[in-house]
Amino acid sequence: MEQHEISDQNFPVDTDLPSRFSSCPLWLSRVASVAGMSRMQDWEPNLYLKFAGQRARPAADLIAQIKLDQPQAIIDLGCGTGNSTEQLHRRWPQAQITGLDSSASMLAQARQNHGDWKWIQSSVENWQPEKNYDLVFSNAALHWVANHGVLFPRLLNAVAPGGALAVQMPNNFHSPAHQAMKKVGADSRWAGRLDGAAERIHLEPISFYYDVLRKMAAAVNFWETEYLQIVEGPRAVLEWLRSTAMRGYLERLGDDGERKTFEDLCLREFECAYPTDDQGRVLFPYKRMFLIAYR
C-alpha cells in the first residue's frame, strides 16, 4: 500500500516536543573522529528539533497500526534519548518497556528523563535478548545495520507468540537530494575521500522483507508512505539532511571550511532540484517503509 500525505512544516504538534525530541538519530552518536581531522560535533539537537514534528510522525503512524491489545514486554531498538519509547509508553502505559541504544550519551539523557525505565547500551548487532518480547520495535534505525537477510529473522525470533516485530526505515535514498549529495561527493576536489559515503545505508526493496519474513510470520502488514513535506525553501532541505544523512559525507572532510564548501555545493544542487513556489517554500517528498510481522 502506498500513501501520499502533504504536511506543512509548522503543523500543530505537541507543545512538549522540545523536551521529548531533543535528540538525533541513532547513527549520529556513532560518528568517530578520524586521525588528523578536526572532530565534528556528535549531534546537533537544535538543528534536529527544527523538524521535530515531522520526524515524530512516522513513529506515531507505525505505532497506530500495531494490532496488539495488551503487550507486557516491549523493546525499542535504536531508542536514542527515548523519544519513540515515550510514544510506546503512551500507547501501552501498562507495559514494561526497554530502550536499547549504542550511545552512552543518548542513554544518559534517556535515564535522566525516565530513570525508572530500563535502558540497555548495546548495538543492535550485538544485542542478545534475555527473553522474548511481545513487541520488538524500531524507528529509523535499522537501515544503519547490515545484512537484513539475517537480522530480520533474528529479530522476529525475539518476538513472543502472539507478538509483533514493527519497523520503520527511511526509503528516500534515491531522491533528488541524495543524488545531489552523491554528485557533489564525486567532485575531484575531495580526492576520493567521499567515495562510499552513501554506502553506509542498508535497505532492500519491500518485497525482500516479505520473502524473508513471510514463512516465519503468522501475518504481515507492509506499506510505504511518502510524506510530501512543505519546508521553507532549499536551505531547509539542507538543514534536514545536515542533521542526518549528510553527516556520512561531512565527517570525512578535514575541517569546517571543507564542510562548508560541501554544504554550499549541495545547496546549489538543492536549489535546482527543489524550486521554490511564490511563497518561498518547496515540497520535500520523503518516503518511508513500514514493516509489521506477527508471530
The more confident residue out of 253 and 10 is 253
Mean pLDDT estimate for the chain: 85
User: The whole model's pTM is what?
Assistant: 0.81
Residue type, 213: L
3-class DSSP assignment, residue 114: coil
* Residues with Cβ within 8 Å of residue 82, at least 6 apart in sequence: 23, 76, 99, 109, 110, 113, 114, 117, 119
Predicted local confidence at residue 40, as pLDDT: 52
- Count of residues for the chain? 295
Rounded average pLDDT over 2-24:
40
Residue 24's pLDDT band (boundaries 50, 70, 90)? very low
Share of the chain above pLDDT 70, in %: 82
Residue 13's pLDDT band (boundaries 50, 70, 90)? very low
Residue 21's pLDDT band (boundaries 50, 70, 90)? very low
Instruction: Kindly report, residue by residue over 119-129, the tens digit of the pLDDT.
Output: 999 999 999 99
Predicted local confidence at residue 35, as pLDDT: 31
**8 Å CB contact between 54 and 227:** yes
Instruction: Kindly report, residue by residue over 160-179, the tens digit of the pLDDT.
Output: 999 999 999 999 999 999 99
- Answer left, alpha or beta for residue 289, where phi above 0 means left and psi between -120 and 50 means alpha: beta
d(CA 48, CA 46): 5
Angle at 126 between CA 38 and CA 124, to 5 degrees: 75
Residue 144's pLDDT band (boundaries 50, 70, 90)? confident
Rounded average pLDDT over 9-19:
37
Predicted local confidence at residue 31, as pLDDT: 31
Instruction: Kindly report, residue by residue over 252-289, the tens digit of the pLDDT.
Output: 998 999 999 999 999 999 999 999 999 999 999 999 99
Which of 36-40, 45-49, 150-154 holds the top average pLDDT?
Answer: 150-154
Residue 166 half-sphere exposure toward CB, CA atoms < 13 A: 24
Q: How far is CA 242 from the centre of its chain?
A: 14
Instruction: Kindly report, residue by residue over 185-216, the tens digit of the pLDDT.
Output: 999 999 999 998 887 789 999 999 999 999 99
Rounded average pLDDT over 6-12:
42
**8 Å CB contact between 20 and 240:** no
The more confident residue out of 80 and 18 is 80
Predicted local confidence at residue 198, as pLDDT: 82
Predicted local confidence at residue 247, as pLDDT: 87
